[in-house]
Homo-oligomer: A and B are copies of this chain.
Amino acid sequence: MSRKLNLALIGAGRIGKLHAETIAFRIPEATMAAITDIRTDLAEAVARRCAIPRVAASVDEIFRDPGIDAVLICSPTNTHAQLVIEAAQAGKHAFCEKPIDHSIEKVDRALREVEKAGVKLQVGYNRRFDPNFARVRKAIASAEIGTPHLLHIISRDPAPPPISYIKDSGGMFLDMTTHDFDMARFLIGDEVTHVYTAAGIRVDPQIGAAGDVDTAVVVLHFANGAIGTIDNCRMAPYGYDQRVEVLGSKGSITTENCYPNYAVISTADSVRRDLPLNFFLDRYTQSFESELRAFVEAVIKDTPTPVTGADGRAPVVMGLAARKSYDEHRPVRLEEISAAKGADTTRSS
């Protein structure tokens, strides 16, 4: 492809706007050719900010446009699977925000259409591109720490979202832990076979009333024998807490949080520093840019995307299994979830 890649954005909310800016200002190989949102005012504001030449009246208009090479699907989760299907049928490559859907059936239908159409699909698990976690993956992939035995993921939000959000979120395991499920598979480079969930309502009883939990430990049993834990909490009073550590046969690797500055103040009271970067837009800035660069490159060079449809499917299975384990107080095999829906979890690359 000698010309620039033409992208259209579907969904002009917070993450959509961020992706539009990244394409417009940081990735010379691509251009934002169109944008659409049911809220036209939002679409127009982003179009102005990023000099996007066209605000489309509908997604259909975008899918029908032969000049559009690929779409960025940043609309609400419950529209993702359908839009992926339509994109595939229109022959457009798709970058789809996570998760693809909360229903394995719908995910599988979308993945079948993608496969049939032969288009690229990348799912927005941006944390894989964070320099810290990428460094951990590199340490494992290069055997710098030998064979991985034990993995721990700490993933805590600074404060819980509104209860209204939680009601639509699919629950913590599908909404928040989904990133950690992806991270676990990414770092270890292997599939999880069963999970065990210990969880509770510690932060806000309203979260419990909405049918969800707000604090959890999920134990992951990997096919290769490695064992992992995910620690989630909807509220870490000191801010966004995002760390991993891995013990391998030759050593370990651990990451620290990222901070707005690396100054340490010592007074008669304590030796202290400012709080870590507060939330994902600040903490994962670089990764949002890197994931889009990777998508653009995969389309241009016709190489596999780094976060495939199968990668997008697995965390949904894991999220459903984690919830089932919590509900039934027992370890749950992923096959119980996956087989029931008749899907193939083979990891494509």
Contacts and interface: CB of A to CB of B under 8 A. Distances in A.
A132 B263 contact: yes
A107 B247 CA distance: 35
Contact of A250 (B28, B229, B237): B237
A237 B249 contact: yes
B215 A200 contact: no
Interface of A: 24-26, 28, 49, 131-132, 134-136, 139, 144-147, 149-150, 152, 156, 196, 198-200, 202-203, 215-217, 219, 221, 225, 227, 229, 231, 233, 235-238, 241, 247, 249-258, 260-268, 270-276, 329-331
Interface centre among A156, A203, A219, A263 (most CB of B within 10 A): A263
Contact of A227 (B135, B198, B251): B198
A233 B150 contact: yes
Contact of A225 (B147, B200, B262, B274): B200
B270 A274 contact: yes
A247 B236 contact: yes
Given A198-B219, A262-B257, A274 B274 contact: no
Contact of A331 (B24, B251, B254, B330): B330
Q: Which 9 A-B pairs have the closest CB atoms?
A: A251-B267, A272-B272, A238-B266, A25-B25, A256-B262, A270-B272, A135-B263, A135-B261, A131-B261
A217 B245 CA distance: 14
Contacts of A25: 24-26
Contacts of A329: 331
B268 A271 contact: no
Contacts of A252: 236, 238, 241, 265-266
Contacts of A134: 261
Contacts of A156: 247
B199 A227 contact: yes
B263 A251 contact: no
A132 to B, nearest CB: 5
Contacts of A28: 49
Contacts of A260: 131, 135
Given A217-B227, A271-B274, A272-B270, A132 B262 contact: yes
Contact of A273 (B249, B257, B271): B271
A276 B267 contact: no
Contacts of A253: 263-266
A172 to B, nearest CB: 14
A198 to B, nearest CB: 5
A217 B136 CA distance: 21
Contacts of A236: 247, 252, 266
A139 B262 contact: no
Contacts of A263: 132, 135-136, 139, 253-256
A156 to B, nearest CB: 7
A250 B235 CA distance: 9
B270 A150 contact: no
